[in-house]
A and B are shown apart, each in its own frame.
Chain A
Amino acid sequence: MAPPNHCLAALARLSLTAPARPTTTPTIPKFLLPSATAPSPLVRYASMSKKRTKKRKTYKTFRCYDQSKAKKFSLCDAIRYIRAIEVGKPPADVKYEIAAKLRTQKNGPIIRGRIRFPFAVKTSTRVGVICPEDSPIAAEAQQLGAVAVGEESLFESIRAGNITFTKLICHPESADALKKANLGKILGPKGMMPSPKTRTITADLQGAMQELIGADEYKEKLGVVRLAIGQLGFTPHMLSENLKLFMSQLKHDIDNGDEYHPKALDEVVLSSTNGPGFSLNGTFSSSDEKVQPEHLQSVM
């Protein structure tokens, strides 16, 4: 027996024929139906196709937080905590790291650069040089201490996955050959593809190699510039020298940026390989007058 409302509908059409629409009620709950089967014609989903999703607000800048209540540390205080947390770790393996947060837009140019610290953080860098084979330039590169020199032979070894270097320079005479070799897919993800932008396609091999060996690269990612600025074994003064140089160079980069995409420094956080992040307040001396900088340079 059909439900009364169906009978009424049939009467309204003054007909006793079978109802125009099938009256079968599904025996299985809807949510159990496999999605592959077509929906019953009885069921009409008013807003299934254009279900309204709540529109999320999009921001053009990276989020910055109120710093007024945040706890800030002087450099020596942060070093004291970090040295306590990292006690017993090999001092050359553990690095002090800096994260400089910027107030900046999400689009637009980013800050990137290279810095030569007065006290080198890295312990080993090997350089490869792309230049015409058996030329005076190749001889010069080898003299300067490049571990791999050449053009086609070097490309072959890169394709074979035999990469003995950690940095790569290209002489302008070989720039066209490098372009034709199509190595961007291999070298690009490693950050070793030479380009004039990063000053790694250059005729001044000596200058470039010196800069690469003693230089560290930094790059803004998601509004933050991160860089290792020292080893755990450094004294507070060594670390402060490195930090000062980095901050002045970063400030220079910020000031000389695109005027349509202004940037400003928001926060500077010092952390270490295994330690938490200490927001720095820009001062040097410890808040505990019993702890002097020379107390923070014993063997770790």
Chain B
Amino acid sequence: MTGPLSRTNKLAGLVRLRSGPGAAILPHDVTRIHLEFNHKYNGGHMGPRKFWREALPGLKFWNPAVPMVVNRSNEKDAPATLTLYFREAGVKLPDLMQTGSATDGTSKAPAPVPGERAVQIHMKNRRSEAILKEFMDKSGAVPVKPTPQDELELRELADREAIGEIDRAVSLKQNEERRKEEEFLRRTRAALADSQANM
């Protein structure tokens, strides 16, 4: 079983989820979020993909009750859109029926039900930061400030990563030297065996 130390180190990265780019609380009138983009990143789909990988987990953590559905497809010239659904003021919506995330493009953005309005954000050929900024503006989400404990954990995480970077460089150098020596020995031995065979 994975040792407790490496598991603890992995869990230390959760602070990035709690205080990363997507750490924001959505207003109560946001009912659901739908994302649609391509599996392949070329053709302007890298930004949406980054938004999904970097910002959406934080949003989901702070807004666990809001359905966030990602529809990825392999279609050529597929759109890359984010759809935000808002509840109209004072309307009580029925239970929203919708399909879950899909990897075959079958979970298209549903049409807003009566009492709901949809706002679209075009994500194609845009960087994830720009998408996030527009998302924050249009949704009215309030960023979550990291707690002092989280700030401490973030600093510790950065420190450990810096130390890891140094260690990686050291072991890379050692391995290079070892490999070089082995290669030299192998070649010299082969040359020696050759010369002895010819004698």
Which residues of A come within 8 Å of B, CB atoms?
Answer: 28, 31-34, 36-37, 65, 67, 70-71, 80-81, 83-85, 87-93, 99, 101, 222-224, 233, 269, 276-279, 291, 294-296, 298-300
Q: Is the interface of A mostly helix, strand, loop or mixed?
A: loop
**Is A224 a contact of B10 with CB atoms below 8 Å?**
no
Question: What residues of chain A lie closer than 8 Å to B4, measured between beta carbons?
Answer: 65, 67, 70, 279
Residues in B with CB closer than 8 Å to A224 are 1
A68 to chain B, nearest CB (A): 11
In the bound assembly, the distance between CA atoms of A33 and B190 in angstroms comes to 10
B66 at the interface (CB under 8 A from A): yes
Interchain pairs with CB closer than 8 A, number = 101
Report how many residues on chain B are interfacial, defined by Cβ distance under 8 Å.
41
Q: Which 8 A-B pairs have the closest CB atoms?
A: A88-B70, A84-B61, A295-B65, A299-B67, A87-B60, A84-B60, A91-B100, A276-B10
B1: A residues at CB distance < 8 A: 99, 101, 222-224, 269
7 contacts between A and B (CB under 8 A): A80-B64, A81-B17, A81-B61, A84-B61, A88-B69, A276-B13, A276-B14
- Residues in B with CB closer than 8 Å to A90 are 100-103
Chain B interface (Cβ < 8 Å from any Cβ of A): 1-4, 7-8, 10-11, 13-14, 17, 32, 35, 52, 56-61, 64-70, 72, 96, 98-103, 185, 188-189, 192-193, 196
Q: Which of A65, A99, A277, A294 has the most CB of B within 10 A?
A: A277
Quick one: which of A87, A93, A294, A295 contacts B70, CB cutoff 8 A?
Answer: A87
CA A232 – CA B35 in complex, angstroms? 19
Additional A-B contact list (15), CB under 8 Å, known A84-B17, A85-B57, A276-B14: A32-B185, A32-B189, A34-B193, A37-B196, A81-B17, A84-B61, A88-B68, A89-B101, A223-B1, A295-B64, A298-B64, A299-B96, A299-B100, A300-B68, A300-B69
Across the interface, do A32 and B11 meet the contact criterion of CB distance under 8 Å? Answer: no
Report whether B8 and A33 are in contact in the complex, using a CB–CB cutoff of 8 Å.
no
Which B residue sits closest to A63, measured CB to CB? Answer: B3
| A31-B189 Cα distance, complex, nearest whole Å | 9
| B192 near A276: Cβ-Cβ < 8 Å | no
Chain A residue nearest to B5 (CB atoms) is: A65
**How many Å from the CB of B144 to the closest CB on chain A?**
12
Q: Which residues of A contact B8 (CB under 8 A)?
A: 70-71
Q: Indicate if the CB atoms of A32 and B192 lie closer than 8 Å.
A: yes
Q: How far is the CA of A233 from the CA of B98 in the complex (A)?
A: 13
Chain B residues with CB below 8 A from A85, complex form: 17, 57
A91 to B193, CA, bound (A): 62
Residues of A within 8 A of B59 (CB): 87
A80, closest chain B residue (CB)? B64
Chain A, Cβ-Cβ closest to B96: A299
- Expressed in whole angstroms, the Cα–Cα distance for A284 and B102 within the complex equals 30
Residues of A close to B99: CB separation below 8 A: 299
CB distance from B57 to the nearest CB of A (A): 5
**CB pair A32 B188 closer than 8 Å:** yes
Return chain B residues, CB-CB under 8 Å to A277.
2, 7, 10
When chains A and B are docked, how far (Å) is the Cα of A161 from the Cα of B185? 48
Cβ–Cβ contact A34 & B17, under 8 A = no
Q: How far is the CA of A28 from the CA of B32 in the complex (A)?
A: 77
Asked if residues B64 and A34 are in contact (CB atoms below 8 Å), the reply is no
Q: Whole-angstrom distance between the alpha carbons of A36 and B196 in the complex?
A: 11
CB distance from A88 to the nearest CB of B (A): 3
Residues of B within 8 A of A71 (CB): 8, 11
Q: Are A298 and B67 in contact (CB under 8 A)?
A: yes
- Residues from chain B with a CB closer than 8 A to the CB of A91 are 100-101
Query: What's the nearest-Cβ distance from chain A to residue B135, in Å?
Result: 14
Q: CB-CB < 8 A to A294: which residues of B?
A: 65
Contact between chains at A298 and B65 (CB < 8 Å): yes
Q: Which residues of B contact A296 (CB under 8 A)?
A: 64-65
CB of A89, distance to nearest CB on chain B (Å): 6
Given contacts A70-B4, A87-B68, A81 and B14 within 8 Å (CB-CB): yes
> Nearest B residue to A66 by beta-carbon distance?
B4
Contact with A33, one of B10, B101, B192 (Cβ below 8 angstroms): B192
* Chain B residues, CB < 8 A from A88: 35, 52, 56, 68-70, 72, 101
Q: Give the CA-CA distance A275 to B123 in the complex, in Å.
A: 27
A67-B2 Cα distance, complex, nearest whole Å: 14
Do B7 and A279 touch (CB < 8 A)? Answer: yes
A277→B4 CA distance, assembly (Å): 10
